[in-house]
A and B are shown apart, each in its own frame.
Chain A
Amino acid sequence: MTWIAKPRLHHPTLARNALGYTRRDYEGKVSTLCAGCGHDSISAAIVQAFWLMDIAPHRVAKLSGIGCSSKTPDYFLGPAHGFNTVHGRMPSVLTGANLANRSLIYLGVSGDGDSASIGLGQFAHAIRRGVDMTYIVENNGVYGLTKGQFSATADPGSVSKKGVANTDGPLDLVGLALLLGASFVARGFAGDKAQLVPLVQAAISHKGSAIIDVISPCIAFNNHAGSTKSYDYVREHNEAVNQLDLVPSRNEITVDYAAGETVELAQHDGTFLRLHKLREDYDPHDRIGAMNYLHEHQARGEVVTGLLYVDTAAQDLHAGLETVETPLNLLSEAELCPGAAVLEHINSSLR
């Protein structure tokens, strides 16, 4: 067999969330990725985020494209339906799924090959439409499943395991998402779970397209000296602008931080993002400022992480399409079919 079910033995002392679920209820099958893969850390962050947010796992639909990253939805949220689509087309399939049932939470998982190369068009257009989703790009700068070719996010001069230097310019998905009008743009690092989990939580509670680019080192093909997507490189060049907490609306909001260091942002779903500012000059409400900041630091070889931009008043695709609140897949025949009498009227107008 080429699949492995995780043993479902629960330790009685495992902590339970408000729904009574333990973290194990948010896990999936055993990962088949390489030991130490950054993607597995991201899966763990996703498990943690959903558990913390008390979201029943089966109310999530998880979709992906093709590649190492796109295999991961099988490794978390086992009780949720998953859809491993085709290469680069997750955004459109997710869009359709979201149109069919707006009451579920949509999580798209993709990679740098899937989103920055073959799927760049769909990445862009799903953002343009404001599809309500959390879109995580597990970005390692390399094609892992086909054994180490450069991807479109690889930096020029970055050296492959075989010693070949990349000469093509990189695509920066965070910069692009800002340009395309995404209402939530963040960057995380697979090696920094403390920062990543709240980013995922915030993205889930965001109404609209939430993009998180997660630098996720490929230990098999892109974790050597010379790579700009290695654990060492990112740790040395990480420029975190802020650190988040997600505060559920039912909790009393207390301010533990000195004014000027903490910002609270009301989210569409009633939760609050509490932002600990690590850089005084950084404002996550300023799209143009975010672009400038990003480019200035990129030019210095720094990897900016944190919540880079958020528009808490954003609307999603359903608002634009003015669809009914009832999920379209639940509408009854009586609500959909105009009936024989109306058709007879149409017939008589055609004579």
Chain B
Amino acid sequence: MTAEDASPGVAMPVTDARTVPAAPLEAVNDFVVKFANVNGSGSASANELFARAILRMGVPVGPRNIFPSNIQGLPTWYEVRISGAGHLGRRGGVDLMVAMNPQTWDDDIAEVDVGGYLFYDSTRPLAATKMRSDITMIGMPLTEICNSTWADPRQRQLFKNILYVGALAALLRIDMGAIETLIAEQYKSKPRLLEPNVQALRMGYVYARDHLPAIGLSVRRSNAVGDRIFIDGNRAAALGCVYGGATVCAWYPITPSSSLAESFQNYCHKLRIDPASGRRRYAVVQAEDEIASIGIVAGAGWNGARAFTATSGPGISLMSEIIGLAYFAEIPMTIIDVQRGGPSTGMPTRTQQADLVACAYASHGDTRHVLLFPEDPHECFEFAASALDLADRLQTPVFVMSDLDIAMNQRLCAPLAWSETNRYDRGKVMSFEQLEAGTDFGRYKDVDGDGIPWRTLPGTHPTRGSYFTRGTSRDAYARYSERGRDYVDNMERLLRKFDTARSLVPPPVPNASHRPTTWGAIYFGSTAPAMREAVESLEQAGLAMDILRVRAFPFSGAVREFIESHGPVFVVEQNRDAQLRSLLVDDFGLDPARLVPILHFDGTPITARFIVGAVRAYAHEAGMPT
């Protein structure tokens, strides 16, 4: 009997008897499920439902979308790390593949760890050569069930996704109540859709329960999630901009940053309407390109509004001239760079940390910019808000270096935090009263020794405090000057200002090993969860290592001390050219040989296994037991 002969609900089990492996994987709350889908098929919301249901059972999950630059028809994957121990990075490897895309079957089946499982649509029989004997193949006639249950082709497609979620719930012992609650929340405003979704879910559950074999992977209720929230970095950063007081946002659509500006607009629409007039306390302009976006941000910053743009690498390239103007003319601006794979169009829907050098030194001439490195959505929120403060305080462009992995994937993280005692730092803005009192105003004069001059806003005083802002050199009173001395004084003051930034940016976060060691690793941003897991597993293998997460450029003295007190020092990052290492070498004048690069740049988020492998390979070469 083939799957085609079976009618839904009464079909024979279709597990292929030829492929039962000797030792199927067994794990509770510690495995990786990967969904292979066709994009545009409606799988994303079903897959998210799967991940959220596990979260609702109190078990941490780390989901990641791996998607093409395409709207419909190309392969897309959703990988869910389920980790009772709380590891949210990618581990590497797959324990259960949900193979819904015939185009990628060969790669998908090859990726499953030995002893793992592959769930597939068995409506049409597959050749034996397409199978593997060292994993468990679990077939379910999804298409057949859908075709005989729903007439509408769109419904057939959408409910196929819900059907497999139901089946996985049975296989992995996920709480059906949790899923049904989530569906009810999702369709609260569209009750018409609620019932068919629940029906499809139950149909998948019952079929799997009655016809599919039990497997060794399962989810067990826990309380390891705590009060953490589940949010993507772009939404969190957008909220950070709302809380940080941004009133002007200018942007141009580019993956993976577009949802940040859109979220800002959505949150403002809810949170920033003047109750009396119904009018908006914000302005969002979708500009004609990134040059105009940053021009608008520069004009607003010059005129005293908190302004930001969100973009990605190609946008930074276009913005560079105005970023240089803002550095030299000392205009506050916040730029959120959601990094993707470059150069050129590169890999627009894949992740990298490859814009560090481009942002740190953006523009022609001698420039140096402040960069912040959030590790997760919680810090995307925090750093977006503090970037607006830092930009005003330092009167310079400040970059928040997010990346696609943090920005477009939902991540379990600490709740967003805002203290009622927070006050915006508007920096040194000379008031009408100060000018009226006769305070000396030199726009580019360092009166406080921190390299930061005072500024005035247009329209402040009828006769005092006006100045002419320009990208050409000038003296301390903003008067046009091409004298070498004036130029050099100004450039040296800008360096002093950069040094002041060193003490204002978020400090690095150390994490010392339980055992004394000279081995150290420096990392930043989205590498954090994989790094922490890698260190745990290295320590279990007898290789202890202290780690330090840098959170900003310029680096604080603590980073230099860490490097000086360790050896070897690995620098773990997600780009080809060891860009953080270059910044460290440049900022501290280090011998590059002191820093050992570990580089992951294939466009997927770095895994704990990759880091462990690289460190062990180094240890092996150094003649240490590994």
Q: Which residues of A contact B (CB under 8 A)?
A: 1-3, 56-59, 61, 63, 73-74, 78-86, 89, 91-101, 103-104, 121-122, 124-125, 129, 318, 321-325, 328-329, 331, 333, 335-340, 342-344, 346-347, 350-351
Nearest A residue (CB) for B247: A328
B97 within 8 A of partner (CB): no
A89 touches B295 (CB 8 A): yes
B423 touches A333 (CB 8 A): yes
Partner of A101, one of B272, B304, B415, B482: B304
Interchain nearest-CB distance for A217 vs B (Å): 25
Give the residues in chain B near A98, CB-CB below 8 Å.
Answer: 299
Give the residues in chain A near B483, CB-CB below 8 Å.
Answer: 1-2
B162 within 8 A of partner (CB): no
Give the residues in chain B near A318, CB-CB below 8 Å.
Answer: 283
Give the residues in chain A near B12, CB-CB below 8 Å.
Answer: none
Give the residues in chain B near A124, CB-CB below 8 Å.
Answer: 288
A79 touches B463 (CB 8 A): yes
A99 touches B283 (CB 8 A): yes
In the assembled complex, the Cα of A239 lies from the Cα of B225 at a distance in Å of 77
B301 touches A104 (CB 8 A): no
B248 touches A101 (CB 8 A): no
A343 touches B298 (CB 8 A): no
A101 touches B458 (CB 8 A): yes
Interchain nearest-CB distance for A327 vs B (Å): 8
Interchain nearest-CB distance for B59 vs A (Å): 14
Q: 7 closest A-B pairs (Cβ-Cβ)?
A: A96-B299, A92-B295, A100-B305, A81-B458, A96-B296, A100-B303, A329-B304
Give the residues in chain A near B459, CB-CB below 8 Å.
Answer: 58-59, 61, 81, 101, 103-104
Give the residues in chain B near A339, CB-CB below 8 Å.
Answer: 418, 420
Give the residues in chain A near B467, CB-CB below 8 Å.
Answer: 81-82
Q: What are 17 of the A-B contact pairs (CB < 8 Å)?
A: A3-B480, A59-B459, A84-B471, A86-B471, A92-B291, A95-B285, A95-B296, A99-B285, A99-B300, A100-B302, A101-B303, A322-B280, A323-B279, A323-B281, A336-B245, A337-B422, A350-B231
Interchain nearest-CB distance for A53 vs B (Å): 16
Tell me which of B225, B305, B467 has the highest count of chain A C-beta atoms within 10 A of its own C-beta.
B305
Nearest B residue (CB) for A28: B468
Give the residues in chain B near A95, CB-CB below 8 Å.
Answer: 285, 292, 295-296, 299
In the assembled complex, the Cα of A84 lies from the Cα of B299 at a distance in Å of 11
In the assembled complex, the Cα of A148 lies from the Cα of B472 at a distance in Å of 22
Q: What total count of A-B pairs have CB within 8 Å?
A: 233
Nearest A residue (CB) for B52: A351
B243 touches A337 (CB 8 A): yes
Give the residues in chain A near B247, CB-CB below 8 Å.
Answer: 99-100, 328-329, 331, 336
Proximity bits, B220-244, A CB within 8 Å = 1, else 0:
0000010111110000000100110
B271 touches A338 (CB 8 A): yes
State how many residues of chain B have any CB contact under 8 Å with chain A.
75
Give the residues in chain A near B194, CB-CB below 8 Å.
Answer: none
B481 touches A1 (CB 8 A): yes
B456 touches A325 (CB 8 A): no
In the assembled complex, the Cα of A339 lies from the Cα of B419 at a distance in Å of 8
In the assembled complex, the Cα of A94 lies from the Cα of B250 at a distance in Å of 13
Give the residues in chain B near A56, CB-CB below 8 Å.
Answer: 462
Give the residues in chain B near A336, CB-CB below 8 Å.
Answer: 242, 245, 247, 272, 281
Partner of B274, one of A78, A80, A324, A333: A324
A97 touches B300 (CB 8 A): yes
B424 within 8 A of partner (CB): yes
- Report B297-331 residues with CB < 8 Å from chain A CB: 297-305, 307, 321-322, 325
If A58-B459, A58-B460 touch, whether A347 touches B416 (CB-CB below 8 Å) is: yes
Nearest A residue (CB) for B307: A96
In the assembled complex, the Cα of A311 lies from the Cα of B342 at a distance in Å of 47
A81 touches B299 (CB 8 A): no
A96 touches B231 (CB 8 A): no
Nearest B residue (CB) for A318: B283
A93 touches B296 (CB 8 A): yes
Interchain nearest-CB distance for A175 vs B (Å): 20
Interchain nearest-CB distance for B194 vs A (Å): 19
If A2-B480, A95-B296 touch, whether A347 touches B283 (CB-CB below 8 Å) is: no
A328 touches B282 (CB 8 A): yes
Other CB < 8 Å A-B pairs besides A96-B248, A328-B282, A336-B247, 13 of them? A84-B471, A92-B291, A92-B298, A93-B302, A93-B322, A96-B298, A96-B305, A101-B305, A324-B279, A325-B277, A333-B423, A333-B424, A347-B415
A347 touches B229 (CB 8 A): yes
Nearest A residue (CB) for B381: A343
Give the residues in chain B near A103, CB-CB below 8 Å.
Answer: 459
Nearest A residue (CB) for B303: A100
A61 touches B243 (CB 8 A): no
If A93-B296, A99-B305, A324-B281 touch, whether A338 touches B243 (CB-CB below 8 Å) is: yes
B470 within 8 A of partner (CB): yes
Tell me which of A79, A83, A335 has the highest count of chain B C-beta atoms within 10 A of its own C-beta.
A83
In the assembled complex, the Cα of A95 lies from the Cα of B288 at a distance in Å of 12
In the assembled complex, the Cα of A193 lies from the Cα of B588 at a distance in Å of 60
B479 within 8 A of partner (CB): yes
A340 touches B420 (CB 8 A): yes
